[in-house]
């Protein structure tokens, strides 16, 4: 069983720093013996641009059985042969999680004397695990990892490629990508969630597992929408432990909500801030343009879809014309920061009644989004892979159908005007694409046609005679909010 961790870099921030962060030198293959076999760490590639570390666990199935630990699911011993012939040697499971924590324990704690500043900052990461037993399927994999800021690709592994009619096995090939997490956070997510997906622990769950779970879950488990499932599966459904963990998590959540400084978190999540925001407060101009357009349309109840850290929600709250403001984002981390920024827990009742934040993905239709006056997608579409855009389009224009939809996105033509942006680069490392004015227009006009909306375009920021404005905004309007007949 194995997993790989890849990062990319530049000459100033070489990808090979991964070796420092993991405390394992890229030039040497190293082996560590654990109670269940040997863990190898090696680097299939180690360059300035790209560096990949692989953790390979060579499980000794016989030792596993001899130690009385080759139990099957739910703790019942498998049939005699199954003890030897089972998935443990190759499927990523709790064994791999234990190996991770043994081999990368400093990295998991975020300790790195050689590169302390890099250990503390998010970096582009790609994690691949070829076979994860996923009880709950691809859907559960998404529900576990997406709220933490991962982009998830999980493909079911066929039972036997020679017999496709046999269908899929319960394994998935998992690829996770993110640019918003530190390596320590990423390792802690894997340490907890791999065994949760497997839903079978190879060892007896002792009471100190609660401590391990809380330590590894620090900073992300308390606000995770699947916290209950994670806790219960991680603790092998031992109710007394599960209850203890939940109570302690609740305490952590309350304490955190109280004393964390928003500024401090903003700094830690600096990667989310876009290049453009340093030279010009373009973000402010964008918010002003959005608020003016909402005002023109007389919108009072507004959705901020992909609200991120809640800056727009905060600005809307200050304006009495907006009576209900709903921020939606797929990232739990962003929502946690948004809720701290807004000080939701310290708001008066009337303010609190005006604002709601919830987790959701725009790639799925969601009844909670119906019945609003307007929806804003500010700098969101470019964060979706192009094949997912039709799903977003349907969820917003087909199903939610507010009278007004505002979409802003970077104008890629303007990128030559950013001094700090090297040629050919996008403005933010999570952007899947950036459109020219013509490309945006083509997309927006097609969307409007398909769903019976009118659309007009507006420049945000200085409108350069040659390359246009830095931000482009489409204002979609419809008077009849009933489902349009497909054009
Ligand atoms: N609207 C904010 C944030 C833009 S960053 C602003 O203008 O500053 C893009 C945001 O979209 C991120 O917070 C990201 O988590 C969110 N996002 C990306 N894909 C999403 C999806 N499928 N569903 C919901 N939110 C998504």
Q: Pinpoint the alpha helices (H) of 121-260.
A: 137-145, 183-198, 208-216, 227-234, 239-259
* 160 sits in which H/E element: none
For strands 301-305 and 454-460, give the pairing.
unpaired
Work out which ligand 1 atom sits closest to the CA atom of 383.
18
- Specify the residue with its C-alpha closest to ligand 1, atom 13: 308
Task: Give CA 258 to chain center in angstroms.
Answer: 25
Q: Is 7 helix (H, G, I), strand (E, B) or coil?
A: strand
Q: Is 333 helix (H, G, I), strand (E, B) or coil?
A: helix
Q: How far is the CA of 430 from the centre of ligand 1 (A)?
A: 10
**What does the pLDDT look like over 277-334, one tens digit per residue?**
344 478 888 999 999 999 999 999 999 999 998 999 999 999 999 999 999 998 888 8
So what's the pLDDT on residue 158? 72
So what's the pLDDT on residue 88? 44
Q: Which of 284, 380, 386, 427 to mutate to test the pocket of ligand 1 (most atoms within 8 A of CB)?
A: 380
Q: What is the pTM of this model?
A: 0.53
187 Cβ below 6 A of ligand 1: no
Q: How far is the CA of 98 from the centre of ligand 1 (A)?
A: 33
Q: Is 332 helix (H, G, I), strand (E, B) or coil?
A: helix
pLDDT of 376 over the 90 cut: yes
Say yes or no: domain 2-203 is CATH 3.30.1610.20: yes
334 Cβ below 6 A of ligand 1: yes
**What does the pLDDT look like over 21-76, one tens digit per residue?**
998 888 888 888 776 678 899 999 999 999 999 999 887 665 555 554 444 333 34
Q: How many CA atoms lie within 13 A of 371 on its CB side?
A: 3
Q: How far is the CA of 347 from the centre of ligand 1 (A)?
A: 25
Closest by CA position to 453, among listed 403, 411, 393: 403
**Residue 28: Cβ within 10 Å count:** 10
384 Cβ below 6 A of ligand 1: yes
So what's the pLDDT on residue 468? 94
383 Cβ below 6 A of ligand 1: yes
What percentage of the chain exceeds 70 in pLDDT? 77
CA distance 89 to 78: 15
> For 468, which DSSP code?
B
Q: How far is the CA of 178 from the centre of ligand 1 (A)?
A: 13
**What does the pLDDT look like over 141-166, one tens digit per residue?**
999 999 999 999 988 877 666 666 66
- CA-CA-CA-CA torsion sign (75, 77, 82, 88): positive
Task: Give CA 178 to chain center in angstroms.
Answer: 7
380 Cβ below 6 A of ligand 1: yes
So what's the pLDDT on residue 162? 64
In this structure, are residues 381 and 410 in contact, taking their beta carbons and an 8 Å threshold? no
Work out which ligand 1 atom sits closest to the CA atom of 362.
23
Burial class (CB in 10 A: 0-12, 13-18, 19+), 94: buried
70 Cβ below 6 A of ligand 1: no
378 Cβ below 6 A of ligand 1: yes
Considering only 205-219, 231-245, 261-275, which range has the smallest mean pLDDT? 261-275
Q: Within the chain, which residue ranges are assigned CATH 3.30.1610.20? A: 2-203
In what side-by-side order are the strands of the sheet with 404-410?
355-359, 324-329, 301-305, 374-378, 404-410, 471-477, 454-460
Name the residue with tokens 């360059």. Answer: 47
147 Cβ below 6 A of ligand 1: no
Q: How far is the CA of 329 from the centre of ligand 1 (A)?
A: 6
Q: Within the chain, which residue ranges are assigned CATH 3.40.50.150? A: 282-486
Q: How far is the CA of 385 from the centre of ligand 1 (A)?
A: 12
Q: How many CA atoms lie within 13 A of 246 on its CB side?
A: 16
Name the residue with tokens 């099957």. Answer: 72
* 350 sits in which H/E element: helix 349-354
Q: How far is the CA of 469 from the centre of ligand 1 (A)?
A: 22
Q: How far is the CA of 269 from the centre of ligand 1 (A)?
A: 14
Q: How far is the CA of 437 from the centre of ligand 1 (A)?
A: 21
So what's the pLDDT on residue 152? 94
In this structure, are residues 67 and 35 in contact, taking their beta carbons and an 8 Å threshold? yes
Q: How far is the CA of 402 from the centre of ligand 1 (A)?
A: 19
For strands 374-378 and 301-305, give the pairing.
parallel
18 Cβ below 6 A of ligand 1: no
pLDDT of 187 over the 60 cut: yes
330 Cβ below 6 A of ligand 1: yes
Considering only 85-99, 103-117, 290-304, 344-358, which range has the smallest mean pLDDT? 85-99
Question: pLDDT higher for 135 or 53?
Answer: 53
149 Cβ below 6 A of ligand 1: no
308 Cβ below 6 A of ligand 1: yes
**What does the pLDDT look like over 382-418, one tens digit per residue?**
998 898 999 999 999 999 999 999 999 999 999 887 7
Closest by CA position to 409, among listed 428, 432, 435: 435
Closest by CA position to 312, among listed 339, 281, 291: 291
Q: How far is the CA of 390 from the centre of ligand 1 (A)?
A: 16
Question: pLDDT higher for 12 or 373?
Answer: 373
306 Cβ below 6 A of ligand 1: yes
Q: How far is the CA of 306 from the centre of ligand 1 (A)?
A: 3
**What does the pLDDT look like over 450-470, one tens digit per residue?**
999 999 999 999 899 899 999
Confidence of residue 218 (pLDDT cuts 50, 70, 90): confident
Give me 208's structure tokens. 């100190």
Q: At what angle do helices 239-259 and 227-234 cross, to 10 degrees?
A: 140
For the segment(s) 282-486, the CATH number from 3.30.2000.20, 3.40.50.150, 3.30.565.10, 3.40.50.300 is 3.40.50.150
- Specify the residue with its C-alpha closest to ligand 1, atom 16: 306
CA distance 134 to 132: 6
């Amino acid at each position: 069983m194995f997993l790989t961790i890849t990062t990319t870099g530049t000459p100033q921030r070489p990808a090979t720093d991964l070796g420092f962060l993991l405390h394992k030198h890229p030039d040497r293959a190293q082996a560590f013996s654990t109670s269940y076999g040997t863990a190898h760490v090696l680097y299939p590639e180690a360059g300035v641009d790209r560096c990949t570390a692989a953790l390979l666990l060579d499980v000794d199935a016989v030792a596993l059985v001899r130690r009385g630990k080759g139990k099957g699911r739910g703790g019942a011993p498998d049939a005699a042969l199954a003890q030897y012939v089972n998935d443990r040697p190759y499927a990523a499971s709790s064994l791999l999680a234990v190996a991770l924590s043994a081999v990368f324990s400093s990295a998991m704690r975020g300790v790195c004397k050689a590169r302390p500043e890099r250990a503390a900052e998010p970096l582009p990461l790609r994690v691949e695990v070829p076979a994860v037993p996923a009880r709950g399927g691809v859907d559960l994999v998404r529900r576990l990892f997406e709220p933490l800021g991962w982009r998830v690709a999980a493909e079911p592994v066929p039972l036997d490629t020679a017999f496709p009619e046999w269908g899929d096995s319960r394994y998935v090939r998992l690829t996770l990508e993110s640019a918003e997490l530190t390596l320590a956070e990423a390792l802690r997510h894997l340490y907890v969630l791999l065994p949760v997906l497997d839903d079978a622990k190879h060892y007896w769950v002792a009471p100190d597992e609660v401590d391990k779970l809380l330590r590894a879950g620090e900073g992300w488990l308390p606000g995770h929408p699947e916290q209950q499932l994670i806790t219960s599966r991680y603790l092998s459904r031992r109710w007394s432990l599960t209850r203890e963990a939940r109570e302690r998590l609740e305490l952590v959540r309350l304490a955190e909500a109280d004393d964390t400084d928003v500024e401090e978190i903003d700094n830690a999540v600096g990667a989310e801030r876009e290049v453009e925001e340093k030279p010009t407060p373009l973000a402010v101009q964008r918010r002003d343009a959005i608020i003016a357009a909402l005002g023109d349309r007389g919108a009072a109840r507004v959705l901020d879809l992909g609200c991120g850290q809640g800056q727009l929600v905060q600005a809307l709250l200050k304006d009495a014309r907006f009576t209900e403001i709903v921020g939606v984002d797929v990232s739990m981390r962003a929502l946690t920061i948004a809720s701290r920024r807004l000080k939701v827990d310290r708001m008066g009742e009337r303010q609190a009644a005006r604002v709601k934040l919830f987790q959701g993905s725009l790639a799925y239709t969601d009844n909670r989004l119906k019945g609003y006056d307007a929806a804003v997608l500010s700098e969101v579409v470019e964060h979706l892979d192009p094949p997912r855009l039709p799903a977003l389009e349907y969820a917003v224009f087909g199903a939610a159908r507010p009278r007004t939809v505002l979409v802003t996105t970077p104008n890629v033509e303007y990128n030559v005007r950013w001094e700090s942006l090297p040629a050919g680069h996008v403005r933010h490392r999570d952007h899947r694409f950036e459109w020219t004015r013509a490309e945006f227009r083509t997309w927006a006009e097609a969307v409007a046609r398909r769903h019976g909306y009118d659309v007009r375009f507006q420049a945000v920021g200085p409108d350069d005679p040659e390359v246009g404005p830095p931000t482009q905004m489409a204002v979609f309007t419809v008077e009849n909010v009933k489902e349009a007949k497909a054009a």
